[in-house]
Structure 1
């Protein structure tokens, strides 16, 4: 089967036009909007948002996700929470302008220890964005991250065991799960949450002296071959989006993404041969 590949544009360049032009030269016409010109898409001025719309429409690409930063904030800071709810409403306002149906959500900055009480506070504060999404008819793409409180597949099972909402879906990121200490493989983690997956982010990582390093796809500890075999078996028809985070010694985002894309395509070719 053929997988649909996408990319977060700022993994190539903060210049949106440059990022899209390069992505298209690589054969990618599905993009996610995280940041452009140094700002998250939800924080762009109206003038820059209009500029982004003109670029996207003129480039004939498909925007799959508005990669908002909603709830990348402290769990117990009510002022930050209110600000992030405004950020979420902005993401919902922006999404239809780009014909995107998915907006991203996180799980607050990671607490030192996730007690049952803290889990309850996380769930209590996730309630509002989930119900807003239901009311507005948009899909939340919840992304697991190591810097948040829900990073592993086990954490995700707890999340989806608590909430039963058609608006709550998953951006499965096996690289983030690895960085968060998930003891399952990428494929086993996916199997635990497959019913909720609406999008897949790919990055690779390895550990040197206990410190995480982002690496090109295929060069780290994430077993992507096993994952893509599982995705192919499930006939996964969503987007697989490159969010490499890897930077070569030159520091070039373009070269880092190009190198990771080559590794990604090599793994997919092996999985689908």
Structure 2
């Protein structure tokens, strides 16, 4: 049974509206990234406690902490960032989240990513080591312009770090924006490490973000292969249909619902059960 989740801050900054809309859509999980316009790692202890109360009230669980860990420059201070990661571990424990989404550091414009490989792997290994003993998996997202933005470098990270605490998020739209045909170019090599998917699509010709199945993300091919492989995990709606940027995106309730219906329509067309 595949499980739907979503970045509900794309619906509204108010967590009441976020969780109410998820209820209306039948989505029982949230990938928690922000509330009240504040990033999850910058919420106070009291605000996290309030989120816990709201989650219980609306009957919603947390699939992942949608953290910004690793979304800093490769030359930025890492010790400070590692301390911020401790907050992510604490939030994941407080919200009973099985995953923390993270990234592999911005590469300076025009630089060869290979020039920064050793430092990226040092940092990713340190994050994985820091997570040892915590009941959480670090899920690396293939964001554009970080080190792990294309399949070969995603594979390099997860295999070189070699930790059971580090696995991959599959984001088809982000691959398209890197001139990658996701399923054709990356599925076979990355499949052993894919544990989590974020659902948005993109048009290669102009970079527009579109609902699942309307772009070049090869999402139908991907879900068929996952079904045949016996995949069982989270699919997190991240529509970005109104705005999209490095810090996240926004859709609003109607566009979020439209994106969800587009994806569930693909699942139903393939006879795939989901919850």
- Is the TM value for this pair above 0.5? yes
Unaligned ranges ≥5, structure 1: none
Q: Which residue of 1 aligns with 2:201?
A: 204
Give the distance between the partners of 1:53 and 1:76, measured in 2 at CA.
35
Please identify, of 18-27 and 188-197, the stretch whose mean Cα deviation from structure 2 is larger.
188-197
Q: Which runs of 4+ in 1 moved over 6 A?
A: none
Instruction: Give the number of the structure with larger relative contact order, counting CA–CA contacts within 8 Å between residues 6 or more apart.
Output: 2
What is the number of equivalent residue pairs in this alignment?
265
* 1:16-27 equivalence runs, <5 A: 16-27=15-26
Q: Which residue of 1 aligns with 2:106?
A: 109
* C-alpha contact (below 8 Å) 2:10/2:251 kept by paired residues: no
* 1:149-160 equivalence runs, <5 A: 149-160=147-158
* TM-superposed deviation, 1:196: 1.2
Q: Which residue of 2 aligns with 1:213?
A: 208
Q: Which residue of 2 aligns with 1:228?
A: 223
1:93 aligns with 2:90: yes
Taking structure 2 as the reference length, the TM-score comes to 0.90
Q: Which residue of 2 aligns with 1:131?
A: 129
* C-alpha contact (below 8 Å) 1:152/1:178 kept by paired residues: no
Q: Which residue of 2 aligns with 1:240?
A: 235
* TM-superposed deviation, 1:215: 1.2
Q: Which residue of 1 aligns with 2:143?
A: 145
* TM-superposed deviation, 1:118: 1.0
Q: SS where residue 196 of structure 2 aligns?
A: strand
* C-alpha contact (below 8 Å) 2:107/2:113 kept by paired residues: no
Unaligned ranges ≥5, structure 2: 244-249
Give the distance between the partners of 1:188 and 1:147, measured in 2 at CA.
18
Give the distance between the partners of 1:90 and 1:252, measured in 2 at CA.
28
Cα-Cα RMSD: 1.8
* C-alpha contact (below 8 Å) 1:199/1:238 kept by paired residues: yes
Deviations 1:205-242 (A, max 9, x none): 1144xx41111222211121111101110121101110
* C-alpha contact (below 8 Å) 1:216/1:256 kept by paired residues: no
* C-alpha contact (below 8 Å) 1:23/1:29 kept by paired residues: yes
Distance 1:115 1:52, change over 3 A: closer
